[in-house]
Structure 1
Amino acid sequence: MSVIEKLNSIKNGEMTAKENVESFIEVIDENNENINAFIELNYENALKQAEAIDEKIANGQEVGALAGLVFGIKANINVE
């Protein structure tokens, strides 16, 4: 599924933002030990944000253009 298709699916209620996040969590849990792509994960906050997005969509409220998508951020600066 392309990003545009996923966004439309979330905004049209065919998929929830929470379901999208949960599917990414499954992939990360299955693969991260081998590929070591993520060093810090905050599943609890990601799920909480997804639920808030789903609630807004259900109530007909405006959400951001990328609401419901999952992003990984590469930290390339060492911070102590």
Structure 2
Amino acid sequence: MEKKLEKDTIGHIGTQKYLCNITWRNGQFIMDEPESSNGENLGPDPFSTLLAALAGCTLSTLRMYIDRKGWDIQK
């Protein structure tokens, strides 16, 4: 099976409650839960990250469609 990503996306957990380290193609970032959920709010929570991924995918697809149609839409 052909590998689709340049590098694997890998998640790591430690002993700190809810803190996750995510390594991806160009670096790494952390995900955490807000203080209201007993996290330390050191990074975006997984649900917000999922919503951001969906928004990014939708907007990238929309931009590709706009460019292919030759429409003059800046934002």
The answer to whether the superposition gives a TM-score over 0.5 is no
Q: Which structure has the higher relative contact order (CA within 8 Å, separation 6+)?
A: 1
> Whose helix fraction is larger, Structure 1's or Structure 2's?
1
> Whose strand fraction is larger, Structure 1's or Structure 2's?
2
Q: Provide the TM-score with structure 2 as the length reference.
A: 0.33
Q: Provide the TM-score with structure 1 as the length reference.
A: 0.31
